[in-house]
Structure 1
Amino acid sequence: MSTAIAFRRVVADELARFHQHERCVTPVKSRRTGPVLAAVVVSSLLAATACSPSGGGAQQSGQGIAKQITIAAVNDQSGPVGYAGISASQGARLAVEQINDQGYLGDGVVIDLTQSDPAGEIERAVSDMTKAMADNDVSAILGPTLGQQAAAVAPIVNQREVPTVFTQSGSPGVVTGDYTFRATAPMETYYSSGDKWLAENDLTKLSLIYNGTLPTYASLVEDVITPDQRKYGLSIDQRVEVQSTTLDFTSQAQQIAAAKPQAVIMLLTAPQSVTFMKQLRQAGYTGQVLGSTNQSAGMIAPAGPAADGLVYPVDFSASMDTPESKAFVDAFTKEYGQTPDPYAAEGFDALWWIARGIKASNDSSRDGVREGLSEVADLGFAGAMGDITFDGNDMRVPGVVVKWQDGKEQLLR
């Protein structure tokens, strides 16, 4: 298979997967699509490989920790998913401020976080990443949050050997080598906590509505929820499949309400879930609904009172009660005047992961950061998202179950 064809398939897959990825569900609109887009990205990849200097940064491995360490943030600050990149960068900047103020990496050692904005464009992400990797002062990169951007730049990251920590970017083809890392746990690794909560509350007779167009939801049903039925004694007596194009759920809501399940599992995008919750309540259903991370961080708020009582598992909530989580929420709220969302927690833990890595290896060169990130991943650490562990270079978190009530999240377990 030719390189262009193979990469075109990767791009097409990533474009499809992004629409269903955890919370970043808004499709990217680009002037270039299909083969033209793939060709542009391939050309950028080839240009990056051919034109950029190879090797590590100006600091060579084994020289210890430099007095100034530059980390580049290449994540959307505008465009369809700018909200995710803005929050991640806010969390990262808070971490940098704490690291510097504490003298965590040594007296006089300062981390400098630079920022660029790909604005939802794959081509711009490739360009911005290439520039960051060509800058020998950059020791590590906080990579794009958008799945197809991350998949496009991952081959360059590994070829250029620049340690890059992605947040979100839950698609395949991102954590692909020694220099690619991810600070967001895939939804399927903690969703079972929601099924367990249903069983603990004797809510075992269920209806399921899910967006079958989206691979994440299809695999979640097949690989997590179906096995959980046996594990927790659940019974899904009604399955309703919809498409990404479904905007009116009147008939589906009436069908589910008529079945009178003890609880409804709802696997829909954020905009779909707002409409469905309203129409489900209008159909007369007053029972429990279990959602997903797509409703977290206030995404369900437009549903108003219809969303009250909605329960969902999430990787982070401002209601979490671990010491590290509370300290993060307090510091973030003081710094920005608002409570943090999951994207902010991911950016915060990503930067602390990098700092811990530098300290572990006692080396702020690119090879030192990579080695340190792996060392920290082997041990795990307590962060804003709780007790963090890793599967290789990929983060795992315990997750929590929260209830949306009166415009805010309440911790359940």
Structure 2
Amino acid sequence: MDWTSTCRKTGALLIVPAMLAFAGCGASPTSEAAEPGIADEIKMVGVRDLTGPVAYAGVGAARGAELAVKEINGQEFLGEGKSLVLDEIDSAGAIERAAAEATRALSDQDVSVILGPVQGQQSAAVAPVVEAQKVPVVFTQSASDGVVIGDYTFRATAPMHTFYGHAAEFLRKEGLTDVAVLYNSTYPTLAELAETHFPAMAEAEGLNIVESIPVQTTTQDFTSPAQEVAQKNPDAIVVLLLSSQSVTAMTQLRQAGYEGQFVGNTNNAGGNAAQAGQHAVDMVYPVDFSAAQRDQHAKKFTESYEQEFGELPKTYAAEGYDAVWWIARAIKASGDSSREGIRDGLEQVAGEGFTGAMGEITFEGNDMRVPGVLARWDGTQEAIISD
């Protein structure tokens, strides 16, 4: 078969079929499987947003991964002369580019595992490709449905809804029972939380959702929804927006006269809320990791990250760090750095769990779970108010 010709013909088709066809161009289906064992050099490729509106998540995950690689190689964790090598590729906020770059990586037989995108839409396009080609991928963020879909797709971020209950519990304890929700309906993680998970949490905690307003990722002016919500004057507003949107929305809500409690999400963590100035003071938000945590493993990671990069780590860095340590543990557990060996090892480690920067990590299938904490932004720094 002329694989090159086939790729040219399928280039204009839908994203996933096109990527599957392209994957065939990179390697013959008759390629011999690698001998089991741990190779001297184990190549990983990260495909994530290093530029664009959610670059803060992609860059953070890449830096956390970089630190983990340095530690693993420095400790000779995988054995004398054995090392991980990580290449990072920018998906630049584009679904098509993420799928194309992931496909390019998996067509390279030297690549043993992929570290997937941080956006759910991108990861949902990548997932069927890696499943079809039987290449393990470990995603961070990407907490929407359609990402962990089979034996080769893994996620090193607990879906936000699995620890967002800290926020609903806080509202109940504070007596803030009338709640409005302002959310990004384009971003699957936030949309699912706003439309499905948080309403169930609110009902369980006796909260009353007085208003729920969807906006788009492209929305940058919140004057109209801000005025609408401010007129209802709820006890609290749950802000489920991207970081830059949150800054504008909170500012315009305050300008519209709202003086109540803001409850955010992981996009506001790690100092991102500071961009809203005084408008974000006392905002609370659930996170899977905070540099303010004082437990042994979180503190060690925070100190190492700050020494390496000159700044405190955000949640995305902890996720990237634990993802690579999961992979390293997987290779050691299976004794095999091939694609199948890593897949088997990831599954084995998931069955056992491990302690990482984010605390005691467990799994539901191939999907990570962490305890999470509730943080408060005091205008200068982040503090933990519950765990």
TM-score relative to the length of structure 2:
0.87
Using the TM superposition, give the Cα deviation of residue 298 of structure 1 relative to its aligned residue in structure 2, in angstroms: 3.2
The partner residue of 1:243 within 194, 205, 215 is 215
1:382 is aligned to 355
Q: How many residues align?
A: 376
Structure 1 CA distance, aligned partners of 2:96 and 2:183?
A: 32
SS of the aligned residue for 2:272 comes to coil
Query: Aligned in 2, Cα 1:37/1:298: closer, same or farther, shift over 3 Å?
Result: farther
* Structure 2: segments with no counterpart, 5+ residues: 1-9
Q: String of CA shifts for 1:177-210, please: whole Å, max 9, x gaps.
A: 2111111222111111111112222322333334
State the one-letter code of the partner of 1:59.
Answer: A
Using the TM superposition, give the Cα deviation of residue 129 of structure 1 relative to its aligned residue in structure 2, in angstroms: 2.5
Query: Aligned in 2, Cα 1:258/1:79: closer, same or farther, shift over 3 Å?
Result: closer
Using the TM superposition, give the Cα deviation of residue 50 of structure 1 relative to its aligned residue in structure 2, in angstroms: 5.2
1:191 is aligned to 164
Query: Aligned in 2, Cα 1:152/1:207: closer, same or farther, shift over 3 Å?
Result: closer
State the one-letter code of the partner of 1:102.
Answer: Q
Structure 1 CA distance, aligned partners of 2:21 and 2:233?
A: 57
Query: Aligned in 2, Cα 1:408/1:173: closer, same or farther, shift over 3 Å?
Result: same
Structure 1 CA distance, aligned partners of 2:228 and 2:97?
A: 45
2:42 is aligned to 69
State the one-letter code of the partner of 2:355.
Answer: A
Aligned-pair identity in percent equals 50
Q: String of CA shifts for 1:24-72, please: whole Å, max 9, x gaps.
A: xxxxxxxxxxx997546533321213552347886323xx322322222
Structure 2 CA distance, aligned partners of 1:279 and 1:289?
A: 13
Structure 1 CA distance, aligned partners of 2:300 and 2:315?
A: 15
The partner residue of 1:366 within 330, 335, 339 is 339
Q: String of CA shifts for 1:209-263, please: whole Å, max 9, x gaps.
A: 3445655445324433323234222233x21424326544445444544444332
Q: String of CA shifts for 1:128-157, please: whole Å, max 9, x gaps.
A: 333322333322221222333322222221
State the one-letter code of the partner of 2:118.
Answer: T
State the one-letter code of the partner of 1:207.
Answer: A
1:3 is aligned to none
Query: Aligned in 2, Cα 1:170/1:36: closer, same or farther, shift over 3 Å?
Result: farther
Asked if 1:109 is matched to 2:82, the reply is yes
Using the TM superposition, give the Cα deviation of residue 377 of structure 1 relative to its aligned residue in structure 2, in angstroms: 0.7
The partner residue of 1:302 within 275, 282, 285 is 275
2:101 is aligned to 128
State the one-letter code of the partner of 1:316.
Answer: F
Using the TM superposition, give the Cα deviation of residue 326 of structure 1 relative to its aligned residue in structure 2, in angstroms: 0.9
The partner residue of 1:52 within 22, 27, 41 is 27
Query: Aligned in 2, Cα 1:48/1:290: closer, same or farther, shift over 3 Å?
Result: same
Query: Aligned in 2, Cα 1:112/1:216: closer, same or farther, shift over 3 Å?
Result: closer
Asked if 1:90 is matched to 2:56, the reply is no
Using the TM superposition, give the Cα deviation of residue 305 of structure 1 relative to its aligned residue in structure 2, in angstroms: 0.7
Structure 2 CA distance, aligned partners of 1:327 and 1:56?
A: 43
2:5 is aligned to none
Q: String of CA shifts for 1:260-304, please: whole Å, max 9, x gaps.
A: 433222333433322221233233333222122232233332211
Using the TM superposition, give the Cα deviation of residue 122 of structure 1 relative to its aligned residue in structure 2, in angstroms: 3.8
1:14 is aligned to none
The partner residue of 1:348 within 301, 304, 321 is 321
* Structure 1: segments with no counterpart, 5+ residues: 1-34
Using the TM superposition, give the Cα deviation of residue 118 of structure 1 relative to its aligned residue in structure 2, in angstroms: 3.4
Structure 1 CA distance, aligned partners of 2:336 and 2:227?
A: 61
Residues 185 and 315, structure 1, Cα contact 8 Å, conserved in 2: yes
2:382 is aligned to 409
Using the TM superposition, give the Cα deviation of residue 331 of structure 1 relative to its aligned residue in structure 2, in angstroms: 0.3
State the one-letter code of the partner of 1:154.
Answer: A
Residues 211 and 229, structure 2, Cα contact 8 Å, conserved in 1: no
Using the TM superposition, give the Cα deviation of residue 369 of structure 1 relative to its aligned residue in structure 2, in angstroms: 0.7
Structure 2 CA distance, aligned partners of 1:37 and 1:405?
A: 51
Q: What is the correspondence of 1:139-150 to structure 2 with a 5 Å cutoff? A: 139-150=112-123
SS of the aligned residue for 1:184 comes to coil
Residues 326 and 349, structure 2, Cα contact 8 Å, conserved in 1: yes
Root-mean-square deviation (CA, aligned residues, Å) is 2.7
Most deviating of 267-276 and 172-181:
267-276
